Amino acid sequence: MASKVVDLRSDTVTKPSEAMRAAMAAAEVDDDVVGVDPTAQRFQAEMAALMGKEAALFVPSGTMGNLISVLVHCDVRGSEAILGDNSHIHVYENGGISTIGGVHPKTVRNNPDGTMDVDKIVAAIRHPDLHYPTTRLICLENTHGNSGGKCLSVEYTDKVGEIAKSHGLKLHIDGARIFNASVALGVPVDRLVKAADSVSVCLSKGLGAPVGSVIVGSKDFIEKAKILRKTLGGGMRQVGVLCAAAHVAIRDTVGKLADDHRKARALAEGLKKIKHITVDPASVETNMVFFDIVDPRISPDNLCQVLEQHNVLAMPASSKSIRFVLHYQISDSDVEFALTCVEKAFEELLKGGAQLEPLANGTTRSSYGH
């Protein structure tokens, strides 16, 4: 029997539960491109109601969901979107809003908590001038991945929404892990995104579905989004098979997110006790733990290589840090096992006994932040 692998690379690595597989096998399906897949229709209506919006649309990925949302709001080439300089849309989505949509990104510095200063957002809004692009959109990210899974408060989101509305702009929230934020803040998810004109929700991250995201907004927004989804090749036929699994994820996994957050804090507390590491357990708000390696003799790549040899998978987050991501398929015993392996890995690297080989888990130096 193969040894168990504790996979902390991301919450995207979960395997479908037995309940998801059963729901997929039993799903009532039809052609969703035509708009008649009953399982997709039910799931989209469920998500719209849950998020407090008029309508919803299933899309293959969060990247496509964000791209569609930006392009609906910025429907004139040369439009400008204000977004964080360390946001997922700006850093990790291949520049799609520019290369495909002709949308110019106006970046504002992300603070360590994932916010952008409100006065800097206001300053970034263009005044009408033939030399400038036209500002049409503000984008937020909640939770903010590159800030360690930090949550944007409902008060902050409302304030940015007020700014957008007062300037005739739209507000889009990249809510890849919005349910993690809702649980951590103790704020219902529909209230948390009330100020937004559109939200993308990843179903295959913290929620653990195998594939897909959903975007929500007004009926008019979703009608335009359907056209763009088709244009981008995202229309799928019997997509109810995937929506059935996503329904189970919403039903079964949201209630487990608080436990993921608890285990992440426990992991951070354990890492704090290990020499050669700096980590702030108080900064862990959701399911991500970032820690720095302070010994210059050890790189994140090397530590991840040795951890892999001990059946713990992880990703470098930068040239000096590593990211662990918790999900519902990581147990308390897995956390203890990972901590033990981190200690062993440091010992082996410092003694020179580790045999370093290329990582086999899909991680490379360019994988930071996925």
Residue 201 has pLDDT above 60, yes or no: yes
Q: Determine the average pLDDT of the residues in 295-302.
A: 95
Model confidence band, residue 364 (pLDDT cutoffs 50, 70, 90):
very low
Residue 51 has pLDDT above 70, yes or no: yes
Give buried/exposed letters for 354-366 (b at 16+ CB in 10 A, else e).
Answer: beeeebebebeee
Query: Over the stretch 175-192, which tens digit does the pLDDT of each residue have?
Result: 999 999 999 999 999 999
CA-based Rg of the chain, rounded to a whole angstrom?
21
Query: Over the stretch 137-171, which tens digit does the pLDDT of each residue have?
Result: 999 999 999 999 999 999 999 999 999 999 999 99
Domain 256-351, CATH: 3.90.1150.10
Residue 358 has pLDDT above 70, yes or no: no
Q: Determine the average pLDDT of the residues in 69-81.
A: 97
Residue of 214, 202, 239 lying closest to 38 (CA atoms): 239
Q: Determine the average pLDDT of the residues in 18-24.
A: 98
Residue of 5, 50, 31, 26 lying closest to 239 (CA atoms): 31
Would you say 160 and 118 are in contact if contact means Cβ atoms under 8 Å apart?
A: yes
Task: Check residue 33 and report its DSSP letter.
Answer: T
Domain 18-252, CATH: 3.40.640.10
Residue 244 has pLDDT above 50, yes or no: yes
* Stretch (H or E) spanning 89: helix 88-92
d(CA 29, CA 249): 18
Residue 316 has pLDDT above 60, yes or no: yes
The CATH 3.90.1150.10 portion of the chain extends over: 256-351
Model confidence band, residue 1 (pLDDT cutoffs 50, 70, 90):
very low
Residue 68 has pLDDT above 80, yes or no: yes
Q: Determine the average pLDDT of the residues in 360-365.
A: 52
What would the DSSP string read from start to end of 127-158?
PS-TTSPEEEEEEEESSBGGGTSBPPPHHHHH
For the chain, what is the mean pLDDT? 95
Q: How many CB atoms lie within 10 A of CB 35?
A: 11
Query: Over the stretch 89-145, which tens digit does the pLDDT of each residue have?
Result: 999 999 999 999 999 999 999 999 999 999 999 999 999 999 999 999 999 999 999
Share of residues in the chain with pLDDT > 70 (%): 95
**Angle CA(249)–CA(252)–CA(258) in degrees, nearest 5?**
100
The CATH 3.40.640.10 portion of the chain extends over: 18-252
- pLDDT at residue 368, rounded to an integer: 44
Model confidence band, residue 362 (pLDDT cutoffs 50, 70, 90):
low
**Contact residues for 228 (Cβ-Cβ < 8 A; gap 6+):** 67, 68, 71, 72
Would you say 315 and 304 are in contact if contact means Cβ atoms under 8 Å apart?
A: yes
